[in-house]
Structure 1
Amino acid sequence: MSSSPIYQCNVYFGLDVARASDILYGGYFEHRLSSSAQLSLYHQRVMLNDIRLETGNYSFPIIARGCTPSDTICIGFMAHGSDVTRYNTVPIGTDEIQIYPEGSELLYQSSGSSRWVVYSVPHTILIQAILTYSGQDMTLSKENAISLKLPKGSIDSLLRQTNEVFTIAQNSSNSDCRRGNFNKIQEQLLASYSRIICDAMLESSIEKKSSVSQRHNNLILDSEYFVMSCDDVSASLINIAQRTGYSLRALELIFRNSVGMSPGKWFLNLRLNGTLRDFLMATPVSTVSGIATRWGFQHLSRFSEQYRKTFGEYPSHTLNRSKKRVEAVSFEREFDSQINS
C-alpha cells in the first residue's frame, strides 16, 4: 500500500445539503430534507488504493435513498445515533454492523442527529483477509445486506481506529506517516473488520432481520418508482393498493411503521426534495413553474406554500440564489480565461 493517502473533507450547510450526492465514493445518494432548521453535514473520506474509509455527521433528521458503490463491499456502523436510525426500514441496533454487497440499494433514515462510518473494500481483499485470519473460506451474500451483532465494545474499538486513520491522513506529510504509520493502522483496520466479521459469522450471530421488513422496503421502493411516473399522487396511491393487494388503510400502517409517516407525506416530501435539487442545480433558463410542473405540482400557489413550510423560503428565493451563484462562477471562469490568455 502507498503511504500517501488521499484525504478529503466536505462541509455542507443549509439547503445545500441536498446537493451532497457523493457521500460514498462510487455510489450515489439523494438526500431528502424535512425542514431547513440547523442543517449541516460534515463528511470525511480517506482513499488508499482500492480501500476507502468515510464518515458523515448529520445534525438533523435525514432520509437518504441511493446505491452503494458497484466495486466494493461496504461495511457500516453507527458511531452515534443508532437508536434513531434505520436501514431499508429496519432499526439499527446497538453494537451492530451492516454489510452491504456491491451496488446495494439502500434507504438510510435518521430521526435525529447521527454519525455513520463506512469502510469500503473490494470483495477479493476482504475474503483474503478473512481467510488469512481464520483459515476458512467465507461466503458473503451478493444480494442482501446483513446485520451482525458484535460483542460489547467492538464498535468503540472500530471507532477509535477510524478516528486514528483520519487524524493521520489529515497530517499525511508528517514523518510518522512517511515511515509507514498510516500503512500500519490501515492494515490493522482491515484485520479488525475481518476478525469481527469472521467471528460473528462463525458464531452464527447474523441478525436475521424480518422478511416482513424487507417486503415493506421493497414495496416502498417500488411505490416510489411508480408514483414518480404519475402526475396525481392520490390516484397513484389507489393504483398502488390495487396492484399490491393492500388496502389504503394497510398502506397507511405499513408506511407509518416502516418510515414514520403516511404515504401522502412521504411522497410529498419526495417531490418537494426533487424540486429543491433542481432549484439548486438550476440553469439561467430554469423557472419555478417549469420545475414544479416536472415534479407533478399543478397548483403553483399551493406548491410555493408547501415548499416554504418545508424549507423556510419560497422556491423563487432558492432559484434566484442558485442563478446568482451560477452567474458568479461563470464570471470568475471568464475572468480567469482573460487573465491567462
Structure 2
Amino acid sequence: MSSSSIYQCNVYFGLDVARASDILYGGYFEHRLSSSAQLSLYHQRVILDDIRLETGNYSFPIIARGCTPSDSICIGFMAHGSDVTRYNTVPIGTDEIQIYPEGTELLYQSSGSSRWVIYAVSRTRLQQAMHAFSGQEVTLSKENIVSLKLPEGCIDKLLKQTNEVFTIAQNCPDSSPRMDILKRCLEQLLLSYSQIICDAMSASSIEKKSSVSQRHNNLILDSEYFVMSCDDVSASLINIAQRTGYSLRALELIFRNSVGMSPGKWFLNLRLNGTLRDLLMATPISTVSGIATRWGFQHLSRFSEQYRKTFGEYPSHTLNRSKKREGTVFSEREFESQINS
C-alpha cells in the first residue's frame, strides 16, 4: 500500500464544495449549498486494510444527500455541530453515536459549522471485535440506523483517539515504524467502538427514534424522486400533495419541522444545486440555457437572478470558470496558506 492511500487530505473552497462527492470512501454524497459565503470543506481520510477513518469540517450550513458504502458499517458522531444537526430529519443529540448499515440512504443537515467523524469497518470484523469483548454474539441491524446514547465523556475519548490517528498518519510513510503505531491506534479505536456499542446495547440505551420522523424522511425522499422524474422538473406542490395524500398545509408543516424550510424553498434549492453541479462539470459544448432547462427553469432571466442571489455570481460566470480550469482542491499546506493570507 502506498503512503498516498494511507492518508489523504482535500480542501474545497467556495462553490467547488459542490464537487466533493467522495467524502465517504465507497459512498456518494451530493452537497447542496444555500449560499456562497465563506465556504470551505476540510476533509481527511485514513485507510488501512479494511478500516477507514474519515472526518469532515464544514464552515457553513450544509445539506448532504447520498448513500454510505455498500461494503462497510459506518459508525459516526458529531465532534462539534450547530444547534440543529440531523440525519434523515432526526435530530442528533449530545453524546450520541449512529450506526449506519451498509448502503444506507442518508440525508445529513447542519444549520451551521460542524465536524463529523465516521469509522467504517466490515460487518464481520466489527462483530468479531464485539464478540471478543462481550463473549456473546451481537447482532447489528442490516436495515435500520441505530442511535446509541453514550455516557458522558465517551465522545471526547473517541475524538481524542481519532485526532491521534490523523496526527500519526499525516507523516507516516509505509516503511516507517510509525506504521505499526498507526495500525495499533486504529485497532484500539475499533476496540473502543466495540466496547462502547456492547455496553450501550446491554444497558438498553438505544435511542428509538420516532417512526414519524422516518415517515417524513421517506416522504421527502419520495417527493424528490417524483420531482426529478417529471418531464417538468418544476412540478407544482399540488402535484406532490396529490401524489402523497397530504394537504398543502400538512406538506408545508412537515417540511418546516423536518428540514427547516418550506417545500417550495427545498425544491428550489435542490434544482439550483443541480444546475450548479452541472455548470461546474460542464463540457465544452454546455450552455447555461441547456443546463437550466434540464433542471426545470423555464424563465432564464428569473433563474439567473435566483442563482446569483444564492451563489453570489451569475451562472455564466460559473460556466466560464469551469471551462477554464479543473476544480479547486488544495493540499493541507495550500489550505493553511489560503486561510492565513
Is the TM-score greater than 0.5? yes
Q: Are 1:310 and 2:276 counterparts? A: no
Distance 1:235-1:2 versus aligned 2 partners, 3 A rule: closer
Q: Contact 2:65–2:106 (CA<8 Å) still a contact in 1?
A: yes
Q: Contact 1:4–1:48 (CA<8 Å) still a contact in 2?
A: no
Once the two structures are TM-superposed, the CA of residue 325 in structure 1 deviates from its matched residue by 1.2
Q: Are 1:46 and 2:42 counterparts? A: no
Q: Contact 2:27–2:68 (CA<8 Å) still a contact in 1?
A: yes
Secondary structure in structure 2 of the residue aligned to 1:221: helix
Once the two structures are TM-superposed, the CA of residue 230 in structure 1 deviates from its matched residue by 2.5
| 1:81-132 alpha-carbon deviations (Å, 9 max, x no partner) | 0632100000000000000000000000000000000000000000000000
Q: Which has the larger radius of gyration?
A: 1
| 1:116-171 alpha-carbon deviations (Å, 9 max, x no partner) | 00000000000000000000111111111111000000000000000000011112
Q: Contact 2:73–2:121 (CA<8 Å) still a contact in 1?
A: yes
Q: Contact 1:68–1:103 (CA<8 Å) still a contact in 2?
A: yes
Instruction: Normalising by structure 2, report the TM-score.
Output: 0.92
Once the two structures are TM-superposed, the CA of residue 274 in structure 1 deviates from its matched residue by 0.2
| 1:5-62 alpha-carbon deviations (Å, 9 max, x no partner) | 7100000000000000000000000000000000000000000011100000000000
Once the two structures are TM-superposed, the CA of residue 235 in structure 1 deviates from its matched residue by 4.2
Tell me which amino acid in the other structure corresponds to 1:264: G
Q: Contact 2:43–2:56 (CA<8 Å) still a contact in 1?
A: yes
Identity across matched positions, percent = 87
Give unpaired runs (5+ residues) of structure 1: 327-341
Task: Provide the residue aligned with 1:336 in structure 2.
Answer: none
Give unpaired runs (5+ residues) of structure 2: 327-341
Task: Provide the residue aligned with 2:267 in structure 1.
Answer: 267
Distance 1:36-1:159 versus aligned 2 partners, 3 A rule: same
Distance 1:4-1:309 versus aligned 2 partners, 3 A rule: closer
The number of residues matched between the two structures is 326
Task: Provide the residue aligned with 1:246 in structure 2.
Answer: 246
Secondary structure in structure 2 of the residue aligned to 1:228: helix
Once the two structures are TM-superposed, the CA of residue 3 in structure 1 deviates from its matched residue by 10
Q: Are 1:286 and 2:303 counterparts? A: no
Distance 1:234-1:287 versus aligned 2 partners, 3 A rule: closer
Q: Contact 1:297–1:303 (CA<8 Å) still a contact in 2?
A: yes
Secondary structure in structure 2 of the residue aligned to 1:224: helix
Q: Distance in 1 between matches of 2:74 and 2:197?
A: 12
Tell me which amino acid in the other structure corresponds to 2:118: V
| 1:169-207 alpha-carbon deviations (Å, 9 max, x no partner) | 1121385514x2112111110000000011111111100
Secondary structure in structure 2 of the residue aligned to 1:83: coil
Tell me which amino acid in the other structure corresponds to 1:85: T
Task: Provide the residue aligned with 2:100 in structure 1.
Answer: 100
4+ residue runs of structure 1 moved beyond 3 angstroms? 1-5, 173-176, 231-236
Task: Provide the residue aligned with 2:178 in structure 1.
Answer: 177
Q: Distance in 2 between matches of 1:234 and 1:14?
A: 27
Compare 123-132 and 80-89 and name the one that shifted more: 80-89
Q: Distance in 2 between matches of 1:5 and 1:283?
A: 30
Task: Provide the residue aligned with 1:151 in structure 2.
Answer: 151
Q: Contact 1:6–1:46 (CA<8 Å) still a contact in 2?
A: yes
Once the two structures are TM-superposed, the CA of residue 243 in structure 1 deviates from its matched residue by 2.0
Q: Are 1:75 and 2:95 counterparts? A: no
Distance 1:235-1:4 versus aligned 2 partners, 3 A rule: closer
Distance 1:268-1:4 versus aligned 2 partners, 3 A rule: closer
For the aligned residues, what is the CA RMSD?
1.8
Once the two structures are TM-superposed, the CA of residue 239 in structure 1 deviates from its matched residue by 1.9
Q: Distance in 2 between matches of 1:40 and 1:183?
A: 30
Q: Contact 1:226–1:236 (CA<8 Å) still a contact in 2?
A: no
Q: Contact 1:130–1:195 (CA<8 Å) still a contact in 2?
A: yes
Task: Provide the residue aligned with 1:24 in structure 2.
Answer: 24
Distance 1:2-1:10 versus aligned 2 partners, 3 A rule: closer
Q: Are 1:300 and 2:272 counterparts? A: no
Q: Distance in 2 between matches of 1:215 and 1:320?
A: 42
Q: Are 1:86 and 2:91 counterparts? A: no
Distance 1:266-1:4 versus aligned 2 partners, 3 A rule: closer
